[in-house]
Structure 1
Amino acid sequence: MANIIILGAHGQIATLVRGRLLRETQHHLNLFLRHAERLKSVDHQRETIYEGDATDTPLLTKDMNGSDLVYANLGGNDIEEQANSVVNAMNANHIKRLIWISTLGIYDEVPGAFGRWNHKMLDGGYLETYAAAAKVIECSKLAYTIIRPAWLSNKDVMSYELTQKGEPFKGTEVSRRSVADLVFKLINHPDQHIGESLGVDQPNTQGDKPSFY
């Protein structure tokens, strides 16, 4: 059993991960989010709620105390600031293991027509800020795994493949359920994929853009 802190605990992928952790493990969950009232059906024997902003480093440092692993499901225009805050809070608490959700395209690794479409959709502040945040994580001394999902769907499908940093991204889309499965496996096998940045897509979804666009 471990103490897991989930940052951005109300996010869709985080909610899926949380549900599986409660059903399939005995881990204690520390749930950190901006608006605690958004969480429903809290198991107070196994879950502790923390309300705050991830850019508030002193608060995050205090609330992270006692955690063994950090799963960050954060987003927003200030994602680089959040990344710096997470790294500093983890260092202050001597926590090493981090699972960080990012996005595809931060290394310009998406080829062809889909890569051009992805740039058109995400350039102008989104890709740039997520790339900067990933660089903060990669320059830290943490035992990190960065996850770069393809365009996300709510399909009831669990099917995914991985690519490494430096390899061309493959498919155009992936289900949140699939990404949640990868996170769940990393939490339960924290020695896997350390120091790696993983592209995640559903096999056989290559094309000019995701099927739902």
Structure 2
Amino acid sequence: MANVLILGANGQIARLVEKQLLEETNHHLTLFLRDKSRLQVADADRETVIQGDATDVRALLSAMADIDIVYANLAGKNIEDQAKAIMAAMDQAGVSRLIWISTLGIYDEVPGNFGKWNHQQLDGGYLETYAAAARVIESSGLDYTIIRPAWLSNKDIVDYETTQKGEAFKGTEVSRKSIADFVVRLINDPTAQVRHSVGVNQPNTDGDKPSFY
């Protein structure tokens, strides 16, 4: 049993992760979000809800008491500031394992017409800030895994493959359920993909853009 801190616990992928962890494991979940009234607890014995801001080092540090793994499912223009605060809190708390959701394209690793389309959609404040946050994490001494999903769908499937930093990204899309499953795998095996940045896509979805665009 592990104590898992989920930052951004009301996010779509985070909620899928929480559901899967409750169904398949005996881990205890600490759910951290800005407005705790937005979250319904499914198992009060295994879920603790904390309201706080992911740029507040003091709030993060308090939430990290007895935590084994931090899973960050965050977003926003201040994602780099959130990364810096999380790094500081983890260092002070003595927590080393971090699973971090980012996005495809932060290394300009998406090839072809899809790569050009991805830049058109995400340049101008999104890719740049997520890339900056990734640099913060990669420069730390933490046992991180950065996850770079393809464009996300709500398809009811779990089907994915991975690529590593330095490799060309594959595919154009992936289901949120697939990303949640990958996160759960990492939580269950915290030695996997340590200090790796992993692209995740649904096989056989190559093209100029995702199927839903």
Which TM-score applies when normalising by structure 1?
Answer: 0.99
- Correspondence 1:9-158 to 2 at 5 A: 9-158=9-158
SS at match of 1:116: helix
User: 1:164 & 1:42 partners in 2: Cα distance?
Assistant: 35
Letter in 1 for 2:161: E
Cα shift at 1:184: 0.3
Q: Runs ≥4 in structure 1, deviation > 3 angstroms?
A: none
* 1:128-183 C-alpha deviation (Å, 9 max, x unpaired): 00000000000000000000000000001111000000000010000000000000
* 1:81-119 C-alpha deviation (Å, 9 max, x unpaired): 000011111001100100000000000000000000000
User: 1:25 & 1:110 partners in 2: Cα distance?
Assistant: 35
Cα shift at 1:125: 0.1
SS at match of 1:146: strand
Cα shift at 1:41: 3.5
**Gapped regions of structure 1 (runs ≥ 5):** none
Cα shift at 1:43: 1.7
Superposed CA RMSD? 0.6
The alignment status of 1:161 with 2:175, answered yes or no, reads no
Moved more, 148-157 or 59-68: 59-68
Give aligned pairs, total: 213
**2:8 corresponds to which residue?**
8
User: 1:133 & 1:120 partners in 2: Cα distance?
Assistant: 20
Letter in 1 for 2:16: L
Cα shift at 1:69: 0.4
Cα shift at 1:42: 3.6
SS at match of 2:185: helix
SS at match of 2:207: coil
* 1:179-207 C-alpha deviation (Å, 9 max, x unpaired): 00000000000010001000000000000
Which TM-score applies when normalising by structure 2?
Answer: 0.99
**Gapped regions of structure 2 (runs ≥ 5):** none
> Identity percentage over the alignment?
65
**1:212 corresponds to which residue?**
212
Is the contact made by 2:41 and 2:47 (CA closer than 8 Å) also made in structure 1? no
User: 2:156 & 2:121 partners in 1: Cα distance?
Assistant: 25
Letter in 2 for 1:205: T
